[in-house]
Structure 1
Amino acid sequence: MPAEEKASYCSVDQNSKCRVYTRTNNYSNEDTHYWRDTSTHYCHPLEDYLPFWPAKPARYREVVSAYTVETKKLITKISDVIISEGLGFEKEYLGGELSKVQKLSDGKWIGVEPLPNAFLVFIGCQLQIISNGKLKSVIHRAVTNSKQARICVCTFVIPSSDCHIESASHLVNESTKIPLYKGYQYKEFLHTYILNHGDFEAVLQFYKL
């Protein structure tokens, strides 16, 4: 995408349906700045969001829309079959609308070697809370080098802003009947996430009972 085209989409509004940005929300507090060109936009329902997508490159909307249709099928299979059945949820409990990567483990960064033609699936904060701590959100980072450019295509599965999130009742300790986390609307979580500069461990601690 040409620089002038990027400039037309540049925005710091996290609610923008389509935007380009180059830095994190925590820029002023960072020891090391994480610069990168990031283009992000909502995908589903396609008929609602497709008109806001970049018109260039020429086949961007055609190719990315086809990709998002297939990834939605994959995500639905993962949430309905693997995660929901594993946690004892009914089908569609989780919504029906639905170079190198490293993860942090015991204070150390461990390389996650990519497999050809495969997806990396990370559990996020919402599933940790819904599963009452049985699933753990993963701290991860992308590693770059000075010799080769890196392009990442990330697909996030997020609730609607008014969606109520809470621990599933059948996963709460039967003796105490007290969940690990308090319930909230997703837009409240986003606000807390921004206030904590993307530190989701601090965010999880905020909702912990």
Structure 2
Amino acid sequence: MIDVSKRFFDLPFEERSKYMSTEMRSPVRYGTSFNQNKDEVFCWRDLLKLSCNPLSDVLPFWPSSPADLRPAVVNYSKNTKLLYLMLTEAILESLGILVDSKKNENENDGLREFENGSQLIVLNCYPKCPEPDLTLGMHPHSDYGFLTLLLQDEVEGLQIQHEGRWVTVEPLPGSFVVNVGDHLEIFSNGRYSSVLHRVLVNSAKTRISVASLHSLPFESTVQPSPKLIDEANPRRYKDTNFASFLDYMSSREHKKKSFLESRKLT
């Protein structure tokens, strides 16, 4: 995936620009920012977003060059989805929503709603920058979905905010960074907190990363699990869905956890 991503971003701009779109619901979108119509400052990156729902419908819209991009992404998306489901099962068990599958298979219906969930693959390229202190590869934000599985190359750049300071996540060969997203914070009624993160750039090396973003199906309502709400733990978030998120993103600049903050109940 890292190799085919590099070769896509090495294509002439005329080839890459065929996939530019201002439509956030497009099955393929090449660009530089979250919302190029509203963002006041563009990020120092190129990105290619590929919707994976359903693969049979979106595949014809994906770039046909490099020639091995489509099969590589299909294979990668299927395997990252399997990993996502394994992690989600563990998360649901940790919340007490699922019992241990070895104990009672009949009580695990809660996992099934995630099996047909949404998936978006994002290829990121952060070119080397002549003045890296004056810009960011990606400004501070949290991911909107349930979980994000991030594959990094060997170049540092990703930082998470921890206890009020920015901490660099050093790339480990053969590993994924797993980010908690806004939907999981809402679903867990705040038991899990979405991760505020950003990306730095440097003057020496280009950085490549591949993010696989996962959540519930696009048409689903995301809400705190009723099993996690009682008198001692009242509901902390409004119901939401992908339409609300896309409308929010299309209408304003996305900063930090602004969408999640709009979902909180006072």
TM-score using structure 2 length: 0.71
State the 1:105 CA deviation: 2.0
Matches within 5 A, 1:38-57: 38-57=47-66
The one-letter amino acid paired with 2:59 is L
Which sections of structure 2, spanning at least 5 residues, go unmatched?
1-10, 99-107, 118-154
Offset of residue 95 of structure 1: 1.3
- Cα displacement (A) at 1:26: 6.7
CA distance, structure 1, for counterparts of residue 249 and residue 173 of structure 2: 33
Match of 1:88 in 2: 96
Partner of 2:167: 110
The structure 1 residue matched to 2:223, chosen from 154, 159, 166, is 166
Is it true that 1:13 corresponds to 2:23 in the alignment?
yes
* CA pair 7-189 structure 1, distance change in 2 beyond 3 A: closer
Q: Secondary structure at the match of 2:178?
A: coil
Q: SS in structure 1 opposite 2:159?
A: strand
Unaligned runs of 5+ in 1: none
Percentage identity across paired residues of the two chains: 33
Partners of 1:21 and 1:49 lie apart in 2 by 18
TM-superposition CA deviations, 1:31-61 (whole Å, max 9, x none): x541311111112432122111100001111
2:186 alignment counterpart: 129
Q: Tell me which residue corresponds to 1:204.
A: 260
User: C-alpha deviations, 1:116-156, integer Å up to 9, x for none?
Assistant: 10000000000000000000000112222111111111111
Q: Which has the higher contact order (CA 8 A, sep 6+)?
A: 2
SS at match of 2:231: coil
User: What CA distance in whole angstroms lies between the structure 2 residues aligned with 1:53 and 1:33?
Assistant: 24
The residue number in structure 2 matching 1:180 is 236
Cα distance per residue 1:144-195 (max 9 Å; x no partner): 21111111111111333321111011111x2267300111233113322444
Give the distance between the partners of 1:97 and 1:12, measured in 2 at CA.
Answer: 27
What per-residue deviation string (whole Å, max 9, x for no partner) do you get for residues 51-77 of structure 1? 111000011111111111111111111
Partner amino acid for 2:114? Answer: G
How large is the Cα RMSD of the aligned pairs? 2.1
Taking the aligned partners of 1:10 and 1:50, their CA distance within structure 2 comes to: 17
Provide closer, same or farther for how the CA distance between residues 191 and 123 of structure 1 changes in structure 2, counting only shifts above 3 A: same
TM-score w.r.t. structure 1 length? Answer: 0.89
2:151 is matched with which residue? none
What is the CA–CA distance in structure 1 between the aligned matches of 2:256 and 2:220, rounded to whole Å? 19
Aligned to 2:211: 154
Aligned counterparts of 1:36 and 1:201: Cα–Cα separation in 2? 20
In terms of fraction of residues, the more strand-rich structure is: 2
SS of the equivalent of 2:244 reads: helix
Within 5 Å, which residues of 2 pair with 1:134-149?
A: 134-149=191-206
**Distance in 2 between residues matched to 1:154 and 1:146, nearest whole Å:** 23
How many correspondences in the alignment?
206
